[in-house]
Each structure stands twice: as C-alpha cells, then as structure tokens.
Amino acid sequence: MNDINKLRELMAPTGVLRTTINVGNPILAGLDADQQPYGVSVDLAKMIAHRLDVELELQVYASAGEAVAVVSDEKADMGFFALDPKRAESIQFTAPYVLIEGCYLVREDSPITDQQEADRHGQKIVVGKGSAYDLYLSRAIQHAELVRAPTSPKVVAFFIEHKLDIAAGVKQQLEAGIEEFGGLRLLPGHFMTIQQAMGVPKNRPREAAAFLSAFIEEAKAEGDVARLLAKHNIQGASVAPSA
C-alpha cells in the first residue's frame, strides 16, 4: 500500500472525507443564497480532499459544539475548531492556522468600560453554547454568571432580548451585531485569542493528525491561508505563526 492510499484509508475510512463545517463562525464559513456552505474552512477542506483524491462530504452545523460532538463520535472524519483543553479530550488537533479575538460587548449607556469590570457578582455574561469562548470563560470567570445562547450568531439578539449585562463573542460577530441593532459598543481590547485549528477524532491513528498538521503548516507557509482570508474579505483575523 503506497502512502497516499494509506492516508486515504486513515482520513476517510468510509471512502468519503466527511468534514464538519461550522457556519456559526463567520470568519471560517457561511451559507450562500442557495444555502450552500462557503468560506475559508470549506476551501481548505476541498484542498485536502483533492490532495487525498477522495470525495468530500460537507456536514454543516450551526454551532461549534455540534460540530465537535460529531467528530468526537467519529460520525465525521475531520473538522475546523478552536483549540481548547476540553475539546482535546476527544479530538487530536493541529497547530492553529488563524487567530481571532474574543471580545465583550455592552450597551452604549452601560457603566462598564473595561474588560476587568466584566467578572463581577450580579452581572450576567451571555455566550454561545459550546463555543471556544464559552469553554474558556467557564474556567476563567469567577464571579459573574454565564448565560448560554443557543449558538454564537444568536448571542447579540439574546443579549438584547433578555436584557443581560455583557455579550461575549468573536469580535467580527459582535461588530455585526452593533451594525444590526445599534446602541451597543465593544469594550476595549480582548479577553482571549481564539486559536482556530483542525482536528480528527482522538482515537484515529496519529498519522491522520500528522497529515493534517503537515498540510496546515504548508498552507500557512505558502500563503494559502492568507490568500483565503483575502478571498473571503475576512477582516480582523490573522494567520497563525508556524508551529
């Protein structure tokens, strides 16, 4: 068995490369007018399928939590996720390929002006259920209460509807909420850097994760990731440094 046949068997044991796409993260993917997925992660998945010479199946999910669960259960072969220790219990990750800021949003008339003021007793912070920043803040927040919106794209609307104190999320998503609803502002700075990576199920042979890792390092080094960010007009995200 030559190397490509072995890799194909490891990466796509069913004969089809089943890949999760999280359209809840607008940096990486979205749905076009025909409800077809597009974006940086979709293009990277196509590149990998082409390299393996295998059919690609895109499984579209509205949240990272759903996409992580499917790969963890080996109902898909790979996916695009933010790095997190909890997720690493069931997924083998590559190094990150894109860095995104996690930020806070408040109402314009909120007395909160600084990141450090977010974690206080009596305050409620809304997060997207199962998102990387939900997992991070679940560990980091000591005093405020976390409230979970169904998905990341619904965070700002949920924040307004339920009259909460703070909304947490990907900077670009919060900025879109400001434009849509008005009367809102971002707190200066960011509370975390979200490291976007790729992953395969934990019990998949290590060669599968090694193949993905080599692919993503090559994509960063040769400018493919930067090209895809530019192609999809993604602002505010940066290519992660080489591992």
The structural domain count of the chain equals 2
Domain assignment present for residue 35? The answer is yes
Are residues 37 and 58 located together in one domain of the fold? yes
Is the pLDDT at 40 greater than 80, yes or no?
Answer: yes
Are residues 157 and 90 located together in one domain of the fold? no
Is the pLDDT at 234 greater than 80, yes or no?
Answer: yes
Domain assignment present for residue 243? The answer is no
Are residues 154 and 188 located together in one domain of the fold? yes
Are residues 188 and 218 located together in one domain of the fold? no
Is the pLDDT at 229 greater than 50, yes or no?
Answer: yes
Structure tokens that stand for 18 in this block: 């089943």
One DSSP character per residue, 44-103 reads HHHHHHHHHT-EEEEEEESSHHHHHHHHHTTSSSEEEEE--TTGGGTEEE---SEEEEEE
The pLDDT value recorded for residue 26 is: 86
Mean pLDDT, the chain, integer: 95
Domain assignment present for residue 76? The answer is yes
Domain that holds residue 20: 3-98+194-237
Are residues 139 and 187 located together in one domain of the fold? yes
For β-strands 184-186 and 78-82, DSSP reports them as unpaired
The pLDDT value recorded for residue 2 is: 54
- Give tens-digit pLDDT for 125-176: 999 999 989 999 999 999 999 999 999 999 999 999 999 999 999 998 999 9
